[in-house]
Amino acid sequence: MKEEILQKATDLFLNLGFKSVTMDDLAHEMGISKKTIYSHFENKTRLVEESTMNLFCVISNGIDHIVSLKKNPIEELYEIKKFVMSHLKDEKASPQYQLQKYYPRLFETLKKKEFEVMQECVVDNIERGIEIGIYRENLNVQFVSRIYFSGAISLGDHDLFPSSMFTKVALEDYYLEYHLRGIVTPKGRKILNSIINSNQE
């Protein structure tokens, strides 16, 4: 039952937001009593923590799996983006923004964990890209990987990127293309253009 509650809570949080979903809403959606929820989670904060960390683990494991396939590094980044977006339901309720606002301590913990996972993944991606000649060999790998992370985090800032101006999907597409165009060689650019063109068909 705990897993089912976690799954349903995560869906609701992603679609409606951490702030607006109450324990009553969750109980009603699942057709169970609030008492049942409280027997597994002492309060809403605990539920938010566990659902957030659970989703983080699912996404991290998925990214690890994609990286283990050792695809072309440019394709790999597009695969990861697609996978993450499918699990975040296009982030209708901007969970990152809401976490930062209403659960700042949890947001900071999550950000540190995300940095560790992303840093390792992006450094590996860049190094392999340089090795096979699709990324420029004069890149400062640590600088590029950290700039990539800081930019990815800032996409969730509604003041910078209001949803009235950008959809989440479009933002992710623009950002990934922006990152790659800055680091590819002419050989890499051909691969990038072919992926972008096939995505537009």
Q: Domains of the chain by range and CATH? A: 53-200 (1.10.357.10)
Per residue of the chain (201 residues), give pLDDT as tens. 999 999 999 999 988 888 889 999 999 999 999 999 999 999 999 999 999 999 999 999 999 999 999 999 999 999 999 998 888 765 555 777 788 889 999 999 999 999 999 999 999 999 999 999 999 999 999 999 999 999 998 988 888 998 889 988 899 999 999 999 999 999 999 999 999 998 776
d(CA 163, CA 83): 21
pTM of the model: 0.88
Q: In this structure, what token pair is assigned to residue 195?
A: 């992926």
- At 190, is the secondary structure helix, strand, or coil? helix
For residues 67 and 76, give the distance between their C-alpha atoms in angstroms, rounded to a whole number: 7
24: CB partners within 8 A, 6+ apart: 34
**Alpha-carbon dihedral sign for residues 57, 73, 143, 160:** negative
Q: If you write DSSP's letter for every residue of 107-158 in order, what string do you get?
A: HHHHHHHHHHHHHHHHHHHHHHHHHTTSB-TT--HHHHHHHHHHHHHHTT-T
Q: Are 46 and 127 in contact (CB under 8 A)?
A: no
Residue closest to 166 by CA, chosen among 135, 105, 158: 158
- pLDDT confidence of residue 15: 85
User: What pLDDT score was predicted for residue 86?
Assistant: 86
Residue type at position 71: K
Sign of CA dihedral 118, 124, 127, 130: negative
Q: What is the pLDDT of residue 92?
A: 56
pLDDT of residue 112: 93
Residue 77: the pLDDT is 96
Q: Looking at residue 90, what is its pLDDT?
A: 53
